[in-house]
Structure 1
Amino acid sequence: MEAIYLIGFMGAGKTSVSQELAIKLEIPVYDTDREIVKLSGKTINEIFAIDGEEKFRDLESEVLHSMPLGNAVVSTGGGIIGSKKNRLFLNEKMNVVFLNANFSTIMERLKDDDTRPLLSQYNVEAAEKLYNLRLPLYREAANIEVGASGKSVSTIVDEIIQRMKK
């Protein structure tokens, strides 16, 4: 089976869904943010603070392009689609799933999360602008779109599996 890539805005549920999807399919799961931390030896917040967002985006692209091509679920960072090179890479894949959660759902999920560098430097209006800017990029990169608001993780996982069969 070709690898399954989950994309979407921060807080869309990529990490939770990827873990349950991998268990259900009995394949390994990778998280690009965790792989960046391993590669750099720094937290995401430290990379943003010390090296800047551009360095983080370079590491993000490097990690994405090093992920297994088969028998894996890959959860990506919310901004991975900002790079044309990354969107082209994802366009070549069969199973790229955009978890589309509406903005109010995302803000509710992230209200107590202080680990998101882009949320800490943006106010809600700026975060919503970023969300709206990225929406068409997610759609450009994905070949499956699944609504992720108001659904359980298991419902989303089942929907992904069903949609991949088509």
Structure 2
Amino acid sequence: MNNVILIGLPGAGKSTLGVILAKTLGMHFIDTDIIIQDKTGRLLQEIINTDGVERFLEIEEECILSLNKCHAVISTGGSVVLRSRAMKHLTSDGMIIYLEISYDEMVKRLKNITTRGIVLEPGQSLRDMYDQRIPLYERYADIRINCSGEAFESVVENVVLKIREHTAVLAEHS
């Protein structure tokens, strides 16, 4: 395993947790939302508003496909699971950790929904987005971590423990 990839809903804490986790594991940290902004010179919400959801997803996928072995904790955008090529690339050289939060927790955490760069299809509600993505997160996850109501330090400890357990199991079977 070269990379640790964080997936989950908007507001799950992927970026915040990712920085702390990278420091704890002695790895680099990559935030794919920042890569998108650097590549385009625009904010995520601006891309979605101007170019549309489909073009945003294409840009996100291009950025994911450009990542190679980087020994990093990679924080992805919540929409990354909508592109199977992107997820195949991520799973090829990394452990996928799904940071789970409840719908109510997501709504509570999302204070800046109109400026944050959340991918919602036209007419799609937050509830619809939640229901659409949960099965995808579950499908791709090697490890699932409940983050609802948990302190970041506690979540980081849980993630490190689960990574070590998962790595030991993989080593045992190879």
Q: Same fold (TM over 0.5)?
A: yes
Q: In the comparison of the two structures, how many residue pairs are matched?
A: 165
Q: Does 1:156 align with 2:161?
A: no
CA contact (8 A) 1:87 1:140 kept: no
Matched-pair identity in %: 29
Q: Which digits, 9 at most, give the CA deviation of each residue in 1:27-86, with x for residues without a partner?
A: 221110100000011111111122111111111111112224242110000000001212
Unmatched 5+ stretches in structure 1: none
Matched residue, 2:42: 42
SS at match of 1:154: helix
Is 1:27 the counterpart of 2:27? The answer is yes
Q: Which amino acid aligns with 1:134?
A: R
Change (3 A) 1:134 1:155: same
**Pairwise CA RMSD of aligned residues?**
2.1
Shift of 1:110: 0.7
Asked if 1:57 is matched to 2:57, the reply is yes
Superposed CA deviations along residues 81-114 of structure 1, whole A, max 9, x for unmatched, are 0012123223334411000010101110113454
Cα 1:94–1:41 change in 2 (3 A) is closer
CA distance in 1, matches of 2:149, 2:119: 22
Secondary structure (helix, strand or coil) at the match of 1:89 reads: helix
Q: Distance in 1 between matches of 2:44 and 2:162?
A: 32
Partner residue, 1:129? 128
Structure 1 stretches of at least 4 aligned residues deviating more than 3 Å after TM superposition? 117-123
Amino acid at match of 2:136: L
With over 3 angstroms needed to count, the CA separation of the structure-2 counterparts of 1:134 and 1:69, relative to structure 1, is: same
Residue deviations 1:114-154 (CA, integer Å, cap 9, x gap): 4234478878x811111111011011111111001011111
Which runs of no fewer than 5 residues in structure 2 stay unpaired? 166-174
TM-score by length of 1: 0.90
